[in-house]
Amino acid sequence: MPITENNQINKIAVVGRGTAGSLAAASVTSKFAKTQDFELHHIYDSKIPVIGVGEGGWPTLVTQLHELTTIPHENIQMRLNATRKYGVSFEGWGKMNHNFTHFFTPQQVGYSYHLSADNITELLQEASNAQYIDAKVLSISNIEGEGGARIEFENLQAEDYDLVFDARGFPKEINQEEHISIPFIPTNTAIIRRCPSIINHNGNPYLPPTYTRAVARPHGWVFVIPLTTHTSYGYIFNRDCSDIAEVQSDFDDLLAIDGVKDFEQRSILHFPNFVHRHIYEGSIARIGNAGAFMEPLEATAIVSAQLQIGMVLQMRQNRPVEYWQGDIGAVNNFLISSMLGFGLFVGWHYSCGSNYDTEFWRFAKNKVWPQHHLMEYDGDCEKKALKKFKIMLELLKKPVVESAELDRNRILPLTSYAQISQGLGCYPMG
C-alpha cells in the first residue's frame, strides 16, 4: 500500500547500529539529503552488543564508503585499520592437493578491505544525519490498511514510520514460516581469536596486496584476516559434528604452525545459515544478519547488506508510487534468490572435500552439499537460485564463452565460478 501521495518517504527508522544498520543510516542520509526533507531515527539498544565480526568485504565496499563519507580512500583505509583485500587464498581445499586464490574481478586490480568491524560503524555514523534513540524495540509491524510500519518500544511510546530498516542481527530462532534455512552448508559455529598484527605499515596506508586465508582443517576451516592492528583468526566448524575441545586443540596447532605465540580468545559464536522469507515487505526491509546469513567463507554478509539497502532505496526513491505495491513481490524474490545464490556458491566449496578425510569433511561433502539438489522441489526462489547456479556451471563447460555472457553478472561473476571450479578440481561434467 502506498504511504504518501507524493511518492516520498519522509520518516524513516533504522533499527540496529551494527554494520548493516550503520550502512543503512548513511545510505539514507546520502540518498535523501540531496532531494528532500526527511527525518531519520537510528534506534539501537546499547545493552545488546553488535556481533563485532565482519572483517572482510567485496570491492563495491571501497567505492561505497568513499561515496557515503566523501573521505579520500587512503584516509578511509587508515580509519578502518584496514589492509587491501584482493581475494581469498584457499589452503588445502578440494581434491587437487594444491593451494589456490579466488581473486576479485578484475584480477589483482579489484580490491576490498580487511577492516575493523568497530571502526566501520563509527565511520558510517559520522556520515549519517540521524536522531539516535537508545531503546529496546519490542516489535516492528506493518500498519494494516494505512501503509507504513509501527515500532513498539519497551519504555517509549510507539512510533509510526514510512519505512523501517530492521537490522537487529540474527533472528532469535529459525522457523520455517519466516525463514528458508540453508541445509547444504555444513557449519554453524565460530571460535574467534585475536592475534598480533603481521603488517608493518609505519603509520601509512598499507598498499601491498593481502588475501584472506581460508585454511582447511580437520574440523572445518580457519579464516586469517590481516589488519594493521591485529590478525583475526576464526575456526569455522559444526558443533554437532566436532567436539569443541578438539577444535580448540587443533586451533592451537594451527597457531603454532603459523608461529603465533599470543592470542586473545574473543568469542564462540553460533550462527544460522538462512534467508528471511520477507526481506522486503514494502514498509519494512530486513537487512544484514536479520535478512540473511551464511557462513563467512566468501565474506558475503556486508555485500548482501549493500545489495539489500541499495535495492530498497532505489525502488522507493525512483519508482512511481503506483508501482510500489506490485514491486514488493518482485524485489523480495530477487533478494531472496540472490542470497540463496550466495549460499549455493559457498556450499559448493565443500563439494570436493579437502586434504582431510575426517568425519567433518565426509559429512560436508557426502551428506550436506548433496542436499542442494532438493531446492528443485522447493519454492520459486529456491528453484530460481538453483537454476542460475546451474547456468553458471553450464557456462564453464562451453568451448567458448561469449563476452556478453562473461559480462552478465549473475550474482557473482563467471570468473569467480571458474576460479573455484579449477581450484577445487571440481569440473562440471559434460
Ligand X SMILES: Cc1cc2nc3c(=O)[nH]c(=O)nc-3n(C[C@H](O)[C@H](O)[C@H](O)COP(=O)(O)OP(=O)(O)OC[C@H]3O[C@@H](n4cnc5c(N)ncnc54)[C@H](O)[C@@H]3O)c2cc1C
Q: Do the Cβ atoms of 343 and 29 come closer than 8 Å?
A: no
Scan for cell 601509512, then name that residue: 204
Element (H, E) at 235: strand 230-237
- Rounded CA-CA distance 122/30 in Å is 16
Least separation in angstroms between CB 223 and ligand X: 7
Q: What is the DSSP letter of 290?
A: G
Nearer to ligand X, 238 or 289 (CB): 289
- Rounded CA-CA distance 219/72 in Å is 42
Least separation in angstroms between CB 23 and ligand X: 8
Nearer to ligand X, 165 or 324 (CB): 165
Least separation in angstroms between CB 165 and ligand X: 10
Nearer to ligand X, 299 or 385 (CB): 299
- Rounded CA-CA distance 161/168 in Å is 17
Least separation in angstroms between CB 134 and ligand X: 9
Nearer to ligand X, 182 or 386 (CB): 182
Least separation in angstroms between CB 219 and ligand X: 15
Torsion of CA 30, 32, 33, 38, to 10 degrees: -130
Nearer to ligand X, 190 or 386 (CB): 190
Distance of CA 321 to the CA centre of its chain: 30
Nearer to ligand X, 138 or 330 (CB): 138
Nearer to ligand X, 172 or 261 (CB): 172
Three cell numbers written together for 348: 559448493
- Rounded CA-CA distance 202/273 in Å is 40
Three cell numbers written together for 204: 601509512
- Rounded CA-CA distance 328/106 in Å is 34
Least separation in angstroms between CB 298 and ligand X: 9
Least separation in angstroms between CB 211 and ligand X: 13
Least separation in angstroms between CB 429 and ligand X: 32
Looking at the DSSP assignment, which residues form a beta bridge with residue 275? 180, 292
Kindly list the distances between the CA atom of residue 32 and the CA atoms of 22, 25, 280, 318, in Å, as whole numbers in the listed order: 15, 11, 19, 11
Output 418-421 pairs: Cβ under 8 A, ≥24 positions apart.
Answer: 419/100, 419/101, 419/102, 419/103, 420/102, 420/345, 420/348, 420/349, 421/393, 421/396
Nearer to ligand X, 80 or 386 (CB): 80
Scan for cell 548433496, then name that residue: 370
Least separation in angstroms between CB 366 and ligand X: 25
Q: Do the Cβ atoms of 124 and 22 come closer than 8 Å?
A: yes
Scan for cell 536479520, then name that residue: 290
Q: What is the CA radius of gyration of the chain?
A: 21
Closest by Cα among 113, 158, 128, 156 to 39: 128
- Rounded CA-CA distance 117/18 in Å is 8
Binding site residues, ligand X, CB under 6 A: 15-21, 43-45, 48, 50-51, 53-57, 117, 136-137, 167-169, 190, 234, 269, 271, 288-290, 296, 299, 301-302
Least separation in angstroms between CB 11 and ligand X: 18
Nearer to ligand X, 185 or 290 (CB): 290
